[in-house]
Amino acid sequence: RYVPEDITTLLSMTQPLKLRGFQKWDVFCEAVHNMMANTLLPADGKGVMVALRPVPGIRVEQALTLCRPNRTGDIMTIGGNRLVLFLSFCRVNDLDTALNHIFPLPTGDIFSNRMVWFEDSLISAELVQMRLLSPEMWGKPLPLTQGPNPVLNAEHDGRVWRRIPKPLRLQDDTVERTS
Ligand code: C2E
Ligand code: C2E
């Protein structure tokens, strides 16, 4: 008997689009792989993958706490001292715009090195490399990032992140009273 393709198979192929935020290394690779294999999505227009290496003195786990994707379908992972982001449907020319939405600080202050992949074949080739990374090199989020977002003294105004200024007294009362 002819069995039509199960609708749940089609639905599961689009699942990565429902993910957001941190994913374990293997889950990330699987999700991006599924997107690349999804013929319902535009060829070479599925998104941009970017790998970022933190500046010396910042651990990749710390950099991860600053990575706050808002758009469903934007996912990231850490491993081998790199933070890897997949930005769904982002165009490569818009990468900086998207990163400015996602990080509260200029990414140049956090990362010293960036690699970008934006065509299906190039993303798939990088995934082959990523899948070779042994599990002991996979990063684990700091306990902080597993709960709700930590309090951050900054807000997103729709375009960029801005620090929220705090009033600060330069002199306290005891200093004013002396003399
Ligand atoms: P979403 O795609 O999951 O995005 C969640 C939030 O991320 C948005 O909330 C917005 O604050 C931010 N965001 C995502 N992509 C962009 C972007 O390209 N530019 C800017 N400036 N911010 C972005 P928001 O605006 O309340 O939208 C809620 C949901 O409504 C979105 O969820 C999306 O599903 C839909 N949506 C809103 N505007 C658009 C749009 O212009 N195009 C599409 N395709 N969907 C939209
Ligand atoms: P796009 O997805 O074609 O969106 C074009 C413009 O539509 C955005 O310009 C924004 O003004 C509006 N827009 C799209 N989605 C949303 C939404 O969910 N909420 C709101 N409030 N507005 C939305 P914008 O912000 O300058 O972004 C330009 C391009 O940068 C976007 O083109 C997209 O390719 C990329 N981008 C920006 N933010 C994000 C992001 O958070 N995640 C991803 N994956 N891409 C982003």
Q: Tell me: the pLDDT tens digits for 120-175?
A: 999 999 999 999 999 999 999 998 645 555 556 777 777 777 888 878 788 766 55
Would you say the pTM of this structure is higher than 0.95? Answer: no
What token pair was written down for 135? 């599990």
What is the Cα–Cα distance from 51 to 70, expressed in whole angstroms? 18
What residues line ligand 2, using a CB cutoff of 6 Å?
Answer: 70-71, 74, 87-91, 94, 97-98, 101-102
What token pair was written down for 137? 């090199």
> ipTM value of the model?
0.91
DSSP string, 140-174: ---HHHHSSPPP-SEEE-SSSEEEPP----SS-HH
Q: Tell me: the pLDDT tens digits for 73-98?
A: 999 999 999 999 999 999 999 999 99
Q: Grade residue 30 by pLDDT with cuts at 50, 70 and 90.
A: very high
C-alpha Rg value of the chain to the nearest Å: 20
